[in-house]
Structure 1
Amino acid sequence: MQQVQTKTKGKRLKHSRYITGFDGVRALAVIGVIIYHLLPYKLQGGYLGVPTFFVVSGYLITDLLLQEWEQNGRIDFLGFYARRLKRLYPALVFMLVGTGTYITLFQRSLLTNLRSIISSNLVYLYNWWEVGHGQSYFDRFNGESPFTHLWSLSIEGQYYLIWPLILIALVLIIRKKKTIAYILLAFAVISALLMGFIYTGPSTLNRVYYGTDTRMFSIIFGAVLAIVWPSAHLRKHINRRSRLILDGLGIGSFLLMVYLYFELAGQNTFTYRGGMFIMAIASMALIATCAHPGADVNRWLTNPVFSWIGTRSYGIYLYQFPVMIFYEMRVPDIASHPITHAVIEILLIMGISELSYRFIERPLRHYNYRKLGETIYEFVQPNSKYGLKRLWLAPAVILVGVCLYGSAIAPTKAGRNVLQESILKNQSSANVHNKQALAKQRKARKIAASKKRMKHLLNKKLTIKQYKIAKKYQLTKQQYLTVSHQPLTAIGDSIMADNSHDLQTVFKQAYVSAKVGRQIWQAGDVLKELKRKNELAPNVLINLGTNAPMTPAQVKSVVQTVGKGHRIFWVTTHVPTRNWETEVNNTIHQASKTYKHFYVIDWHRYSFNQTDWFWGDNVHPNPKGNIYYTHLIAREISKHLMMK
């Protein structure tokens, strides 16, 4: 993410060397993060590139601070902080101002809390703001913020501020590097254990994912490595056996990192109870072998492509979310060509990052701010040497002004649109109906659900009210009477939350548990609680997959939680604005071939190209769409029930 300078007071440290392979490590990390955000189904663990960045930062900063201490007998703290600010602040400020301006002008739905978001980022406390106010890092649909990814920069900023002071205190008080390494290693283990203990499920995800204390072990591992494996004291000439061991360790750690990239989902409990810890260790091993001049790993990770990506990785990481989110908000059908759109987004990110590197990051990093007054004086002179370059001041002032205006008018609480009001209204109605539905389900269990009883129900005449309901939802008498008396447990996200009133109008015994932003990995707790209370109906309807991708393993977990003796009806997703739509639906269809009593309700196919069925987001059914959504569910469930 960041390229650490190796200079002190403008002079390069005597024994310091630029390790070109570290650009390759950064490149691998940022590639993982980018692919994860663009194509999460292809690389579900790509977010683990962030711990790798942390380990690199921990190693480089500690290594350089110790080199400075050994060479000069002191550390220039003010110089260190100045170099860090010159390296990090210009691009960060530009990204915050540019993004804030775009939101103010073109995407005001994202204005909420803009003032707090910008201010907390400028003081590097945004990760803690996210703990209390932000959404899950893995919620890919529900109002995803273009600033969410900046949490990691805040943790690094806190590290840069505090770590030099702690390091020198340890050196002065304890002195023995071996003892210091053991102490730091103990703190790293405590940090990892804290992550595991605090994480108890989705409700604590933000706390462990964004918290400095629960993520610090990756940076500490890098610091420990710098103490026991200082780059300036590693011998270039080693025997063949040692070189082969180092190369083997490098290859092994790289393969383990790749495996975790593909296999370790962010919603997996193991991720927080050992997974990230293993990733940090693997990253530390790769960095150790890359840093050693006697190994071949540094050479393997050195090439023009990795060098270009690595030196610009900070900018690439900064601009990725704004580009992705703004692009996907403007392109209505990402799902039809996910790879093509991903390539376009990558090109945009790379282009903006290159411009930022050339015209913002590199010039301002090397600028002598002691000459700021002199520069301003020269800038305003009639015959200034800056000439037409001064015209850039006008758009810069406009950008800052618009961003400040947006921050001033930004609400601290998101307003509700028509869709959100509809969801809240229907959720409230569902809560009332749920109590009645459970009572009816308990009563129904006492009556044998025999074919004779079903035949008796189907022979009954429709009342006027029932006739109107059947007609509204385009159901035959047999379809309506079949489902209206069937116990049903419905688990879903905002799609089902908005449809709950229609669903319970047709299914009189339907218990609906639906929540905005719900993802598949949150369904388990709901199902377990219903089973514990013996309130899980024989028919289980699930509508999940809108807010994030899901894997066959996650579907399997839900099926196993539901257990035997229940029929599962899973609704395919209609979310053309997200690249995981096709993969999610393929996973659902495949599950129907794998598990007995697992039936697909193909809402995606049924609603294809029916744009007048949806609100403006082309994802949530409007009142007209809800009628068709309910019709399809009732029709499909009745078909399977009549076949049993």
Structure 2
Amino acid sequence: MKKKLYYTQFDTIRFFAMLAIILYHYLTHRVSGGFLGVDVFLVLSGFLVTSQMEAKYEQGIKEPYFKKLWSRIRKLWWPMLIISLIGLTFLLLFRRQLLVNIGINLASSLLFMNNWHQIFSGSSYFANMLHPSIMTHYWYVAVYMQFMVIWPIFYGLSRRFTKSKQQSGWVMLGAAVLSAILMAVLFKPGADPSRVYYGTDTRFFSIALGGAAAQLIDVDVLNKKLSDKMGRWGHWVIDLLLVALLGILTWATMHLTDSQPLTYYGGMFAFNALSGILIALLTFPGSWVAYLLKFKPLRWLGQRTFHMYLWYYPINVLFHMVPTSQNWFTGSIWPQILLIMVLACLSYALLEEKRWTVPIFNQARNEKPGHVVSQLKQVFKKQTPILTKVLFVAFVSIFIGGATAVAISKPAENVTVEEKAAADQAKKIEEQNKKRAEQAKKADQGLAAYKQDLTAEQLAYYEGIPAEQARFAYQLPVTFVGDSLMVGASDGLYTLFPNAIVDAVVGRQMYKMAGYMTSLAEQGMLADTVVVDLGANGGFTQDQLNAFLDEIGRDKNIFLINSHVDRPWTADVNATLAKAAADESDSVYLLDWHSYFANDENASSWLGTDGVHFNPEGDQIWLQFVTNGIYQILGKS
């Protein structure tokens, strides 16, 4: 009997994985492991491709390698191109500031090399606010296609030099372990993990574990054994196991983070291995879990997940990750998620199902392409439907718009001007922290003598700061913890607070700070006064903030600076900070920078070109605000 190779329950699994990916980008602090949805796609691909090749191998059918590869390329390439051109045309019309490095990004994406391009250019998947490119997500499509090039060859070799599919499966499992070891070796705790996240070599275990599951888990044999022992109740054992696996994978999706060492020291490998077992067991005959996953609306959505994947990142960047006017659409994630799904369904209907044919651009599947001139004549015939003419104009427009966007795109380093400055400044912070002894010695000289050693640039930081506040800041030991906004102001902080420790990192987020403040304390870098400026890069829950404050120590004086950034999460961040500072039983205070910024009509002139980071004037005003805020609480007590 021919073995079944397509299981509709997998479509629902695809949809859940896609939903996890989307929620990770919109609600990172709540669905911190949602990025693992991509792993589910890769494991599932490994399982299905291996199952198909094994079935043909057992039947003695040899499928042409290049024919199958070309079929996969065509299926992915055209939707990628069209949706990319739509995005570029939108940028051309409404977001020209994002037209940076478009040519190389588009070329590497369409050549399925986007992941290695991002690795070599130093781009980060996890600092998407700093790298607002609508093509960042194409790293996965590149990895997938690279696997489709490699995996059939790997499978063929494993079957040639082994005696059974089980032995072949063990070879695949061994290759997966080697890939996971390479990930662990190359991963550097505290550094950006994009290299190991993007790498075909360090992600090989995903497809290999899917293949191993297909080779090693024989549900027919398993079904027979359970039937012999438990009769018709045997499938309940499988269902209980499936529920447990779904629970574990859901927990990991909610709690693993993209920066913690556990993720790269075996956590991602374990997630992939459990995903492979889940996928294999979902093919068990009679499973109620598999039956429930065949729910038609979810299956229907699951069949459109590739188009959802193509749309989700551009929508997220354009309406969530860059400055824009806040309204009911940009201020809420759910209309944007609905838009992603609607656009995916429309593009799927147009480009995959060919519900609306368009001469030259979108012909029916079995229609032979005619001469370009004859097709153009067909467009302008009176009997041609209006919708066809409209779609033809739309296709022409996006091709022209996309080409124009590429032509006028600016070549630049893979960082914003503000981020580059912040990265340079971060190196100075590290050097400054190494000079703590010399810094403390200078602070003992007295303020007047201290100022004599300062440069004109450093003395400028004292402009607008009253003498009594300057004396107070000069004597105060304080630890500043922040992100790139604080990095940019670090020179001023060190000048005004010579007894300070500044611990600021580009792209830092609150939800990733578990255990960090304990580490600072162990190094003797946590003063009795702590100033925190986090929230520009994403939201966090009240529990995450409370855990962070508890780790600092409620007995210390803690100042929380709220955020001015024009992002959908800002209101939630500021409300969370305000609630934490409202408790009068501890020494946690709010410095309401948001209100100060919002109430000054010249505030926009304090920001750099990205609308987020401060220019020199903004740095100076922010320093005055922070110094005054701390002084009003501690200096007068």
| TM value normalised by structure 2 | 0.82
Work out whether 1:81 is the aligned partner of 2:69: yes
Q: Which runs of 5+ in 2 are unaligned?
A: 450-457
C-alpha distance in 2, partners of 1:595/1:193?
48
Deviation at 1:126, TM superposition (A): 0.9
* Corresponding residue of 1:343: 334
Q: Which residue of 2 aligns with 1:111?
A: 99
Q: Which residue of 1 aligns with 2:455?
A: none
| Alignment correspondent of 1:275 | 267
Asked if residue 153 in structure 1 is aligned to residue 152 in structure 2, the reply is no
Alignment of 1:186-265 (within 5 A): 186-229=174-217, 238=227, 239-265=231-257
Match of 1:287 in 2: 279
Give CA-to-partner distance per residue, 1:13-33, whole Å, 9 cap, x none: 954353111111011101111
Q: Paired residue for 1:379? A: 375
Give the structure 2 partner of residue 9 of structure 1.
Answer: none
2:112 counterpart SS class: coil
Matched length:
615
The answer for the alignment partner of 1:124 in structure 2 is 112
Question: Residues 384-533 of structure 1 correspond to what in structure 2 (within 5 A)?
Answer: 387=384, 389=388, 392-414=391-413, 439-444=438-443, 472-473=464-465, 475=466, 478-500=468-490, 502-503=492-493, 506-507=496-497, 509-510=499-500, 512=502, 514-520=504-510
Does the C-alpha gap of structure 1 residues 40 and 530 become closer, same or farther in structure 2, counting only changes over 3 Å?
A: closer
1:183, distance to aligned residue in structure 2 (A): 1.0
1:309 aligns with 2:301: yes
Q: Which amino acid aligns with 2:320?
A: E
Which residue matches 1:632? 625
SS at match of 2:191: helix
1:322 paired with 2:314, answer yes
Are 2:355 and 1:359 equivalent residues in the alignment?
no
Q: Give the Å deviation of 1:519.
A: 4.0
Q: Choose from 580, 597, 602 the match for 1:607.
A: 597
1:572 is aligned to 562
Shift of 1:490: 3.0
Q: Which digits, 9 at most, give the CA deviation of each residue in 1:232-260, with x for residues without a partner? A: 98869953342011101110111111111
Shift in Å, 1:317: 0.8
The change in CA–CA distance for 1:430 and 1:232 in structure 2 (over 3 A counts) is: closer
Contact 2:100 2:412 in 1 (8 A): yes
CA 248–144 in structure 1, closer or farther in 2 if over 3 Å, else same = same
Does the residue aligned with 1:484 lie in a helix, a strand or coil?
A: helix
Aligned mates of 1:586, 1:245 — CA distance in 2: 45
Counterpart check, 1:45 vs 2:45:
no
Residues 331 and 309 of structure 1, relative CA distance in 2, 3 Å threshold: farther
- Kept in 2, the 8 Å contact 1:492–1:515? The answer is yes
- What's the CA shift for 1:113? 1.9
Picking from 159, 179, 187, the partner of 1:171 is 159
Partner Cα distance (2:120, 2:272) in 1: 26
Contact in 1 for aligned 2:564/2:570 (Cα 8 Å): no
Farther off after superposition, 269-278 or 312-321: 269-278
- Given that 1:489 and 1:510 are in contact with CA atoms closer than 8 Å, whether structure 2 keeps it comes out as yes
Deviation at 1:600, TM superposition (A): 3.7
State the secondary structure of the residue aligned to 1:175.
coil
Scaled by the length of structure 1, what TM-score is found?
Answer: 0.81
**3-state SS in 1 of match to 2:531:** strand
Residue deviations 1:38-63 (CA, integer Å, cap 9, x gap): 22233222111111111111111111
Deviation at 1:438, TM superposition (A): 5.9
> Which residue of the partner structure matches residue 4 of structure 1?
none
In the alignment, is the contact (CA less than 8 A) between 1:611 and 1:618 conserved in 2? no
Query: In the alignment, is residue 582 of structure 1 matched against residue 572 of structure 2?
Result: yes
Q: Report what 1:26 is aligned to.
A: 14
Find the residue that maps to 1:16 and give its secondary structure: coil
1:44/1:263 contact within 8 Å kept? yes
Q: Tell me the distance in 1 between the aligned counterparts of 2:298 and 2:635.
A: 61
* 1:101 correspondence with 2:100: no
How far does residue 154 in structure 1 lie from its aligned partner after superposition?
Answer: 0.9
| Partner SS for 1:156 | helix
* In 2: Cα distance, 1:355 partner to 1:400 partner: 19
Asked if structure 2 preserves the Cα contact closer than 8 Å seen for 1:524 and 1:558, the reply is yes
Q: Secondary structure at the match of 1:291?
A: coil
Q: Contact (CA 8 Å) 1:551, 1:587: kept in 2 or not?
A: no
Of stretches 592-601 and 18-27 in structure 1, the one that deviates more from structure 2 is 592-601
Find 1:60's aligned residue among 48, 53, 65: 48
Structure 1 position 352, deviation (Å): 1.1
- 1:602 Cα offset (Å): 3.3
Q: Distance in 1 between matches of 2:192 and 2:234?
A: 44
In structure 1, the residue corresponding to 2:38 is in which secondary structure?
helix
Gap regions ≥5 residues in structure 1: 1-12, 448-453, 458-465
